[in-house]
């Protein structure tokens, strides 16, 4: 999955709050009176310890106890205090663990709480567009409670019967929109196309494959275990699937599954898989470059044997960020919600309980331990 920042994107968001004096609804005042004049909590956090070039390990993070926080947004701050309900583990976060400043999203700050997508409940608000009790999604911190200054990046969630709140981190969140925008825009699919999806049980890949089936394509996905192969074929509706770890020759494996060649490749892993796919892509094929899971821990560039085929076959390779297509977000929300409620889409979610489980869950992303979208449940509503 690609790197992405939610900040200042207007992602179905509430608008940035204007500078003004303290805003309090009557509901806020009632809630504050229940909590007392000086309502504070011990705020459990997951802290980022320091930069690493190697594969992430749990000791790169630390569970910190005893941090005291006041559950009140400062007057005149336009901020909100939220209670975090669900936190998202995403592979793009790996890039933020490196001391690199040449990306469009900055690295994590050592000694501070890790930052990522979350679903949260507003506890106190100094922002006129949000009130206590609102459920929001957006960038928050890996902690029980967060003070969010940039309220303009928050999206107020309108709850839909039958759709779990946590799905706003996956199916209806950034990964879901990445799949939707990437498939329809970067892949330019046609009915009858032969489509290949790598990391096909991931938060993004599983939806790409199902959208391709709805579009009338033939779809094959690759994954890392036999269990996941069965999920792709029997749960997610892919036509075929392969366990790439059991294949000694990736080019031959793809030729076996696509004897007629590949029209569309949705790439989540890069590296040798991308090279093998180029060799099997048909003339005028399209490749959407979404992620480079295989390269996350490499410091040396990987060479390609089949790159000349991009020229000879006139292949289109397109890197993309989903925030290039924010004008499609309302249509995405409508389409995917409808498909899910009609039973045309299912979604796999891997839920871990407790903030203390977050480091292990995050590290597990890079060895394929998760089955579906990895989410941490911090608290119930």
pLDDT per residue as tens digits for the range 166-175: 999 999 999 9
Q: Does the structure show a pLDDT above 60 at 318?
A: yes
Q: Which domain holds residue 35?
A: 24-170+348-377
Domain count, the chain: 2
Tell me if 71 is assigned to some domain: yes
Residue 96 and residue 179 share a domain: no
| Rounded CA separation 293/271 (Å) | 9
Q: Does the structure show a pLDDT above 60 at 155?
A: yes
Q: Which CATH number goes with the domain that contains 266?
A: 3.40.50.720
Residue 295 and residue 251 share a domain: yes
Residue 360 and residue 275 share a domain: no
Tell me if 3 is assigned to some domain: no
Residue 308 and residue 225 share a domain: yes
Interacting residues of 186 by C-beta distance below 8 A, sequence separation 6+: 286, 288, 289, 290, 318, 320
What value does the mean pLDDT take over residues 54-61? 92
Which of 309, 324, 339 marks a domain boundary? Answer: 324
| Rounded CA separation 109/142 (Å) | 13
| pLDDT tens-place string over residues 78-99 | 999 999 999 999 988 998 998 8
Tell me if 100 is assigned to some domain: yes
Model pLDDT, residue 55: 85
Task: Pull the structure tokens for residue 306.
Answer: 């089949």
Tell me if 331 is assigned to some domain: no
| pLDDT tens-place string over residues 4-40 | 333 333 334 444 444 433 334 444 444 444 444 458 9
Tell me if 165 is assigned to some domain: yes
Q: Which CATH number goes with the domain that contains 28?
A: 3.90.180.10
- Give the CA diameter of the chain: 71
Q: Is 379 exposed, middle or buried (0-12, 13-18, 19+ CB in 10 A)?
A: middle
Residue 267 and residue 251 share a domain: yes
Average pLDDT value over all residues in the chain: 88
Residue 144 and residue 193 share a domain: no
Residue 208 and residue 185 share a domain: yes
């Amino acid at each position: 999955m690609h790197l992405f920042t939610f900040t200042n994107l207007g992602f179905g968001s509430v608008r940035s709050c204007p500078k003004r004096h303290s805003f309090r609804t009557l509901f806020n005042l009632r809630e504050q009176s229940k909590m007392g004049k000086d309502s504070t909590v011990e705020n459990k956090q997951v802290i980022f310890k320091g930069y690493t070039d190697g594969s992430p390990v749990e000791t790169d993070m630390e569970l910190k106890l005893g941090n005291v926080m006041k559950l009140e947004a400062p007057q005149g701050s336009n901020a909100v205090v939220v209670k975090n309900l669900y936190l998202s583990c995403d592979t793009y976060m790996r890039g933020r663990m490196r001391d690199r400043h040449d990306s469009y999203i900055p690295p994590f700050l050592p000694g501070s709480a890790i930052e990522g997508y979350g679903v949260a409940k507003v506890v106190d608000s100094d922002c006129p567009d949000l009130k206590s009790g609102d459920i929001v999604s957006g960038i928050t911190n890996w902690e029980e409670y967060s003070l969010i200054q940039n309220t303009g990046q928050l999206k107020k969630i309108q709850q839909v019967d039958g759709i779990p709140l946590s799905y706003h981190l996956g199916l209806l969140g950034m990964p879901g929109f990445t799949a939707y925008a990437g498939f329809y825009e970067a892949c330019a699919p046609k009915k009858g196309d032969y489509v290949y999806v790598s990391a096909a049980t991931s938060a993004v890949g599983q939806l790409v494959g199902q959208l391709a089936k709805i579009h009338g394509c033939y779809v094959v996905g690759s994954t890392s275990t036999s269990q996941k192969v069965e999920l792709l074929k029997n749960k997610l509706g892919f036509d075929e699937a392969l366990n790439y770890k059991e294949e000694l020759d990736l080019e031959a494996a793809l030729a076996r599954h696509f004897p007629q060649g590949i029209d569309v490749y949705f790439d989540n892993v890069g590296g040798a898989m991308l090279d093998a796919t180029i060799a099997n892509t048909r003339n005028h094929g399209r490749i959407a470059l979404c992620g480079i899971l295989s390269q996350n821990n490499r410091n040396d560039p990987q060479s390609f044997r089949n790159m000349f085929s991009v020229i000879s076959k006139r292949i289109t390779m397109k890197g993309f960020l989903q925030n290039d297509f924010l004008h499609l977000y309302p249509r995405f929300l409508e389409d995917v919600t409808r498909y899910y409620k009609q039973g045309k889409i299912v979604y796999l979610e891997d839920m871990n309980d407790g903030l203390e489980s977050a480091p292990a869950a995050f590290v597990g992303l890079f060895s394929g331990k998760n089955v579906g979208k990895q989410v941490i449940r911090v608290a119930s509503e």
